[in-house]
A and B are shown apart, each in its own frame.
Chain A
C-alpha cells in the first residue's frame, strides 16, 4: 500500500490544557490517506478538543500535529495550507444565517480562494446537488430543517475541495428522523474515498463505515481497534462499560 506512506494526519504526544485543566493527555494518532476514523467516548472526554486542534480552532501546548506532511506550528502560511486541506462540520451547523444557502456555499470560495462569483456559484450548486437539496438554494438557513441545514454545512465544506473532513457530532443536534439523511450523505462521502475523522455516537455508522474506532476517556485514547473487534470484543474494561451504556 503506497498510499499509506504519507499519513493524512499525524498527531504525536499531544498535550493540551485549558488553564490548569489537562484536557488532552499525550495523544498519539495517525490517520492514513483515505482512512475513516470514528471517535467516541463519554461527554467531556476531549473528542471535540482533539479534532479542533487539527485545524487550530484550539491551540495545543505540547506535541506535534501535521496534516499531509505540513507541520502545524506558528507559521501562518502552514496554517492556511492546512485549513485548505481540512474541512469541518460542526454539531450546530454554524451556517451563516444572513446569507442564502447558495451564498453560504459560494461566499467562502470567493473570500478564501478569490474565485469568481460565477464559478463559485456553479460549484455551490454542484455540491448542493450532491447533498440532494439544490431546490433550497435560495432559502435562508433559518427556513430549513436541521437535517437540511447540516447537509448544507457539508456542501459548504466540500465546496472548498478539502482532502480531509472532520465531523464533530454532526447528528447529535438533530431530531431522530433527520439523522439518517445526514448519515447517508456521509456514507456517500466515505465511499468516494474521503479521509474522515468523525466524532459520533452513531454506532451503526461506525460499524458500517469506519476503518478504525477510537475510544477516548478523560483526555486519553483508551483503545483503537477495527470496528468488528471494537464492538464485539473490546479489550478495555472502560470501553466495555461505555458500549454497554450507549447500547442499553
Chain B
C-alpha cells in the first residue's frame, strides 16, 4: 500500500474551468434597462434619418459619366473623384514627374511599417529616418540625378499633408523633450525659458502662428534673406506641435518615480544617459493616449495651411471642385478628403491601442 492508493478519489474531481458567462438574450441586450432602450430607439431613429444620405452616396450615385454637367442630378458624383483623383492626391506637381511624390509616399509608408515594433526603436532607426527624409526631400525637389527641379510652390496634395504632419511631429518631438525637461529643471533660467515658450505658443491660435510665419516673418527678416513659404509653414507647425507635445511629455515625466533616477545615479549612469534610457522611455509609455491625441490633432491641423496658400490635400480638393466643367461637386471632394484623413487618424489610433496593450502585458499587476 502506498499513498498513491488515495489518488483515485482525487481524480474524481472534475477539472474546474471558470464558468462561462451566460449568453444574454438579444431582447435583453437591446432593451434590458432604461439606458439600453433609449440608446436602441435613438440609434434606430438615426439610422432611419441616414437613409437619404445612403441613397445619395450609394444607390443614386453616379460612378462614371460622359456628361460632367449633369453628373450630380441624382446622387453623388463619384465620377468626379475618379477624374480628379490624381489632382487631389498630387496637386499641381508636374504630371510627368508624379512618380516622385508617389515614391515619397511609398517610402513614408515603408518607414512607418518598419518603425511599428518598439523592438526596433533606437539610434539606428532614427538614423534611417533622417536618411529617408533627406531622400524624400531630394525626390520632391529634384534638380539632381537627372530629375527636373520642382519648386515647393508646385508641391501639393497628399504628399504635402503627409510631409507636414510627419516633419512637424518629428522635428517638434526633440524640442518638446527639451522644453519638458527644461520646465522641470531646478535651474531657473532653463525653467523660465521653457515655461515662456510653451505658454506663449499655446496661447496663440495656430492660424495666427501660420500668418506670423508666412506673412510677418519675411518682413522681419533682414533684406536678402528668404525662407521658402513651405519651410516657414513647417516651422510654425513644428513650434506648435512642440509646445503641446512638451506638456504631454512633462505629464509623463512627473509619473516616473524619483527612485528611478536615484537607482541610475547609484549605479553610476551619467545623467543624460539616465534621462534618455531610463526616464524618457517610462515617461512616454505613461502618456501614449495623449501623445496619440496630439499626433492626430497635428495631422488634421496641417489642413489649416491652406489659409496661407500652401497647397495641401484639402486645398487641392477645393481647387478641383471649382472646375467649371463639373457641377460644383464640393461635397464629394470634401467627403473624399475626409475619408483619407479618417483612415490616417484611425490608423494612428489603432496603433496606439496596440502599443498600450503591449506595454501593459509587461506586468500582471
Contact = CB atoms under 8 A, between A and B. Distances in A.
Interface of A: 55-57, 80, 83-84, 86-88, 90, 92, 94-98, 107-108, 111-113, 140-143, 156-157, 160
B324 interface: no
B362 A111 contact: no
A158 to B, nearest CB: 11
B362 A83 contact: no
A162 to B, nearest CB: 9
Nearest to B364: A143
A71 to B, nearest CB: 18
A57 B261 CA distance: 10
A90 B259 contact: yes
B363 A112 contact: no
B266 A55 contact: yes
B363 A57 contact: no
Contacts of B268: 80, 83-84, 108, 112-113, 160
Interface residues of B, number: 23
Contacts of A108: 264, 267-269
Among B266, B274, B285, find the residue whose CB has the most chain A CB atoms closer than 10 A. B266
Given A98-B282, A108-B269, A143 B362 contact: yes
Contacts of B281: 98
Contact of A57 (B262, B269, B362, B364): B262
A96 B278 contact: yes
Contacts of A80: 268
Among A84, A86, A96, A156, find the residue whose CB has the most chain B CB atoms closer than 10 A. A96
Contact of B277 (A57, A83, A111): A111
Contacts of A86: 266
A88 B260 contact: no
Contact of A94 (B259, B273, B277): B259
B270 interface: yes
Interface string B104-148: 000000000000000000000000000000000000000000000
B263 interface: yes
B273 A111 contact: yes
7 contacts: A80-B268, A83-B267, A87-B266, A108-B264, A111-B273, A140-B362, A142-B365
Contacts of A140: 362-363
A142 B263 contact: no
Contacts of A111: 269-270, 273-274, 277
B249 to A, nearest CB: 15
B285 A94 contact: no
B98 to A, nearest CB: 43
Interface in B262-305: 262-270, 273-274, 277-278, 281-282, 285
Label chain B's interface by main secondary structure.
helix
A105 to B, nearest CB: 10
A112 B267 contact: yes
A81 B260 CA distance: 21
A152 to B, nearest CB: 12
Interface string B327-365: 000000000000000000000000000000000001111
B52 to A, nearest CB: 52
A57 B260 contact: no
Contacts of A160: 267-268
A84 B262 CA distance: 15
Contacts of A87: 266-267
A55 B268 CA distance: 10
A82 to B, nearest CB: 9
B46 to A, nearest CB: 43
The 8 closest A-B pairs by CB, nearest first: A142-B363, A94-B263, A94-B259, A140-B362, A88-B266, A112-B268, A83-B268, A108-B267
A80 B267 CA distance: 10
Contacts of B362: 97-98, 140, 142-143
A98 B265 CA distance: 17
Nearest to A81: B268
B266 A83 contact: yes
Nearest to B278: A96
Nearest to B118: A98
A98 B262 contact: no
A94 B265 contact: no
A56 B266 CA distance: 8
A42 B246 CA distance: 43
Contact of A97 (B262, B267, B363): B363
Nearest to A113: B268
Given A90-B263, A111-B270, A142-B365, 9 more contacts: A83-B266, A84-B268, A88-B263, A90-B259, A94-B260, A94-B262, A96-B260, A108-B268, A156-B267
Given A83-B265, A92-B259, A143 B363 contact: yes
A95 B363 CA distance: 13
Interface string B245-266: 0000000000001011011111
Contacts of B260: 94, 96
A172 B266 CA distance: 20
B267 A57 contact: no
A97 to B, nearest CB: 7
Contacts of A56: 265
